[in-house]
Structure 1
Amino acid sequence: MFRRSAFVAAAVLALLAVPAGAQTVPSVVDPAWVAAHEAFLAGDALRGRGSATHDETVAAAYVAAQFQGFGLLPAPGMDGYTQTAPVVRTTPSGAAGLTVGGVSLAQGEGLGLLSGAGAALDGAVQVATGDDPAAVPAGEIVMIAPPEGPAVGAWINAAAQQGARLIILRETDLLKGAVARSSPNRPGLALAGATPRSSPVLVVVPAATFDAMAAGAGTGATWDPGQPRVEQTVTTNAVGWLPGTDPAAGVILISAHLDHLGVRPDGVIMHGANDDASGTTAVLELARALSNGEPHRRGILFVAYGSEEVGGLGSRWFGDHAPVPLTDIVANLEIEMIGAQDPQMADGVMMMTGFDRSDFGTALQARGALIAPDLYPEQNFFERSDNYQLALQGVVAHTISGWAVTPTYHTAEDDIAHLDIPFMTRAIQSLVEPLRWLASSDFIPAWAPGGRPERR
């Protein structure tokens, strides 16, 4: 499979990469090119571009080859078009065990693991009572009998805020279904040397067992996650550089993420045609368009990040190892899920997360970009994409999206058949001239008062 995948990838790269200077490419975005990128990135051959996998590496190689074909250069200080970051992959044992009050359960034998595996725990148990999530007691191990329905999220959040490291949930129909759909043994990824993100382990136990455990909770609990498998791997960013004529004018960063969810345990490929092959396609087509014509004053970095789906690892690495000083980046436009349009938006228009946090969106909008404010501020989308890593370091950085709450999100239906290629093409086209203007002007986007995010 490895040899065949490599052969297919090489063949496609050879066919699609256009040698620098071989032809003059117009600044018109062609739907055929949009469809061609999607056919490769979201096709079966790349098996969903799982984070920090060989398939992600091939996707990055494809993007890098396209950058080179458009005449882009390696970024300053780089000797090629890819940037790799060391990653640690930790695969849960699949043999976790829980004992509370002398009652024991094993994973797969009554114990359902919803998320995480965590470290071994041994200590006191707090049992939540009443019907108010705000009354969840503080403690590292907490038992909760939530009501049926989505309100369970409020209880989980309350316990996490109180310092819970293990949350034991009494089974409901909703939670039973969630366990059936979960991938409890899915590997966790972290940048090598980084402190792993802290989030509680969520387990579900049958109602009768939960009640028996709660009755004896005073004697304490033991959580044994088993022995995980730890491996070293890499995630890959693709980076292309279009130099400007004035080194003091600053740099524009245009980005997306190229990874998705890979292959489910049942063998179903999660193609990620919208999330975020569509954004990667946009970066490619903007690179094609903006590299054609007269040089700009400002340099432009085009980046496709790896491993966004597991915590923004590629963008975190890029932020700490950027080929230009972050203080030189005047703005970052991240493109995320433009493969379909939100029916609540005006025809053809995308939304920009955190629109009111700066004057970047209004400047692009005034010059023809089909963008408008975020319809879902309560979802905190501004903080949920790769732009946020740069924004935390001061760069005016926003994400644009076609339909942030699309029904195909993280489902097997996020495939090529569910893309709106005409919408994608029009959306990308609307960004060309506004970005060309930004690259040639002296306008510097600025945060609105209180708009710049602060590290918590």
Structure 2
Amino acid sequence: MRLCVFPAVFFYLFFVSDSIFAQDAELNIEKRDVASYIRFLASDELQGRKTGEQSNWVAARYLAEQFRYFGAKSPAGLRDDYLQVIPFVHVTPPKNGTLTIGDEVMQLADDLMIRSSPGGMTEGELLFLPQVLDSEITEEVRGKYVLTYIGSNNTNDPQAAFALSRNKKKDLMAHGALGIIEIYLGRHPWNLIKRYLGSGGLAIVEEEEGDSEFIVLAINNKMDEVIADLMKGKKRNFKLETDGPVVIKQPSANVVGVIEGTDPVLKNEYIALSAHFDHVGTSSSSERPQTQIDSIFNGARDNAFGVAALISAAEALAIEPAKRSILLIACTAEEIGLLGSKYFVENPVVPLDKIVFNLNTDGAGHSDSSIISVMGLNRVGAATEISEACLAYGLEPYADPAPEQNLFDRSDNVSFAAVGIPAPTFSPGFREFDKDIMRHYHQPSDEVETLDFDYVLKFCRAYALCARLIANKDERPMWSSGDKYEEAYKHLYQVK
């Protein structure tokens, strides 16, 4: 037994000792404080913090003032202190719609989904572009309506495929096109897709000239004959008749703060710390069933827990700044498709190639208080620092639980990963998506009383220390060789 104990002690002293002095600032994080953050955010008064609702704005202002209190600065360029306002609108779908292309007639009740359109009748000439790639877009699109396949050859996930519509719309609008009609050929049933995406809700609409007039449709029709004619150079027109959707402005905001680094060179690089603060609202606002005793989805685990870690890191890193600068990002709209983090990446407050790492924190709660679950632990070039931070507080790092759930690509970290930034998610401890996790996931029972605050404290301290160790790392973290995000990394940072 002595032969076993000595290597363990030796490992701890030499592997963890570098972090012992760095823990001084993290020890300023106290249990009563992290509990107060969570108790406020997950209170009944905040009504589930749903994106676009007043309770979400209250949470955003609370976080902005926490950042201000601990000394983080508002980034230059934001119109409102700490708030990156996102131009969401709430869309109520039209009640009637008919699309006619030659002999094909599609009805809103069946094979037509109207995602954006003015009311009345619209007629125009079609142009076929298979994927609306940059190489396909020419001046020929000006004044025409583009018929295309939804998504791309590299996209199998329907949510990701439909998300590409926004990028296609921007590119086509920039070249003078008037609309886009996307052909759905996905593996999921059309009725399921239509129920999920065609029932209205929040969308981002930039206030650009002509944006409200630009038509975006999706159809469940292969259009083989029409495409064949268009590819032969034959002219084909369409006609759309609809009463149009009802669109109401309903903005929301990411909350962003900056803590400047101490190194004269490395302070020009940033470690982005992120956690989403939105949740799913109440039974009336989220179309989720209430229980007999509760109608509020408080979201203590998902993700007031993670936001408490973000605030705690702000405190520790403001007391004792790291070499690199810290970018604090509390994201809205994670629960409706990671839209807050996507908007941030598309509209960064600092150059994207200066953000060298994203440490996201999110989760559905914890069922194992001896570990911290890390999605992407061995992929992002920071396993040593992440492990050291966990071990410093008696916790074991656990890599990629429940791999069948593809959890790496289901939180805000993936918005950063998609553009090449190494971005793991640091989550409360669980080994599988078992009944202990699912019991509270997106349920009214996700209350403060379900949390172990001794564990929450350790988690928050470990998260802050992890951020510090990575921010003090001499070399930039990078993706493991062959990772699916490695090419994006090379493109972003101009690595050969």
Question: What TM bracket, shorter-length normalisation?
Answer: 0.5 to 0.7
Quote the offset at 1:447 in angstroms. 0.7
Q: Closer, same or farther in 2 for the Cα pair 1:432/1:446, shift >3 Å?
A: same
Q: How does 1:143-292 map to 2 (within 5 A)?
A: 164=184, 187-192=201-206, 227-249=244-266, 250-265=269-284, 268-292=295-319
Q: Mind listing any 5+ residue stretches in structure 1 that lack a counterpart?
A: 1-23, 99-104, 121-139, 141-153, 203-222
Letter of the 1:66 counterpart? Q
Q: Could you tell me how far apart the structure 2 residues matched to 1:191 and 1:164 are? A: 22
Q: Is the 8 A contact 1:75 1:301 kept in 2?
A: no
Q: Could you tell me how far apart the structure 1 residues matched to 2:263 and 2:108 are? A: 64
Q: Which residue of 2 is the match for residue 43 of structure 1?
A: 43
Q: Is the 8 A contact 2:116 2:217 kept in 1?
A: no
Q: Closer, same or farther in 2 for the Cα pair 1:383/1:46, shift >3 Å?
A: same
Q: How does 1:31-430 map to 2 (within 5 A)?
A: 31-78=31-78, 80-92=81-93, 164=184, 187-192=201-206, 227-249=244-266, 250-265=269-284, 268-292=295-319, 294-337=320-363, 340-343=365-368, 347-368=369-390, 370=395, 371-402=397-428, 403=430, 405=433, 406-407=437-438, 408-430=440-462
Quote the offset at 1:54 in angstroms. 2.0
CA distances 1:312-343 after superposition (whole Å, capped 9, x unpaired): 22111211222221111121100002x73244
Quote the offset at 1:169 in angstroms. 7.4
Quote the offset at 1:284 in angstroms. 0.5
Quote the offset at 1:283 in angstroms. 0.2
Q: Is the 8 A contact 1:351 1:373 kept in 2?
A: yes
Q: What root-mean-square deviation, in Å, do the aligned CA atoms of Structure 1 and Structure 2 show?
A: 4.4
* Length, aligned pairs only: 364
Quote the offset at 1:434 in angstroms. 3.2
Q: Which residue of 2 is the match for residue 216 of structure 1?
A: none
Q: Closer, same or farther in 2 for the Cα pair 1:201/1:424, shift >3 Å?
A: farther
Q: Could you tell me how far apart the structure 1 residues matched to 2:457 and 2:41 are? A: 16
> Percent same amino acid at aligned positions?
30
Quote the offset at 1:348 in angstroms. 2.3
Q: Closer, same or farther in 2 for the Cα pair 1:96/1:358, shift >3 Å?
A: same
Letter of the 1:341 counterpart? H
Q: Closer, same or farther in 2 for the Cα pair 1:353/1:430, shift >3 Å?
A: same
Structure 1 stretch 442-451 or stretch 363-372: which is displaced more? 363-372
CA distances 1:377-414 after superposition (whole Å, capped 9, x unpaired): 22221111111111111111111222473212222222
Q: Could you tell me how far apart the structure 2 residues matched to 1:166 and 1:392 are? A: 22
Q: Could you tell me how far apart the structure 1 residues matched to 2:361 and 2:26 are? A: 22
TM-score, normalised on structure 1? 0.66
SS in 2 for 1:431: helix
SS in 2 for 1:52: coil
Letter of the 1:446 counterpart? M
Q: Which residue of 1 is the match for residue 135 of structure 2?
A: none
Q: Is the 8 A contact 1:340 1:420 kept in 2?
A: no
Q: Could you tell me how far apart the structure 1 residues matched to 2:318 and 2:418 are? A: 29
Structure 1 stretch 408-417 or stretch 384-393: which is displaced more? 408-417
Quote the offset at 1:277 in angstroms. 1.3
Q: Could you tell me how far apart the structure 1 residues matched to 2:480 and 2:217 are? A: 32
Q: Could you tell me how far apart the structure 1 residues matched to 2:280 and 2:479 are? A: 33
Q: Is the 8 A contact 1:283 1:302 kept in 2?
A: yes
Q: Closer, same or farther in 2 for the Cα pair 1:429/1:61, shift >3 Å?
A: same
Quote the offset at 1:40 in angstroms. 1.1
Quote the offset at 1:432 in angstroms. 2.9
Quote the offset at 1:255 in angstroms. 0.7
Quote the offset at 1:167 in angstroms. 10
CA distances 1:227-283 after superposition (whole Å, capped 9, x unpaired): 532112222011111101235312111110111111222772221111111111110
Letter of the 1:355 counterpart? L
TM-score, normalised on structure 2? 0.61
Letter of the 1:443 counterpart? E
Q: Closer, same or farther in 2 for the Cα pair 1:225/1:333, shift >3 Å?
A: farther
Q: Could you tell me how far apart the structure 2 residues matched to 1:84 and 1:317 are? A: 10
Q: Could you tell me how far apart the structure 1 residues matched to 2:457 and 2:254 are? A: 24
SS in 2 for 1:334: strand
Q: Could you tell me how far apart the structure 2 residues matched to 1:199 and 1:354 are? A: 36
Q: Closer, same or farther in 2 for the Cα pair 1:358/1:166, shift >3 Å?
A: closer
CA distances 1:417-455 after superposition (whole Å, capped 9, x unpaired): 322322221111223333323223313211111224268
User: Which structure has more helix as a fraction of its residues?
Assistant: 2
SS in 1 for 2:265: helix
Q: Is the 8 A contact 2:115 2:198 kept in 1?
A: no
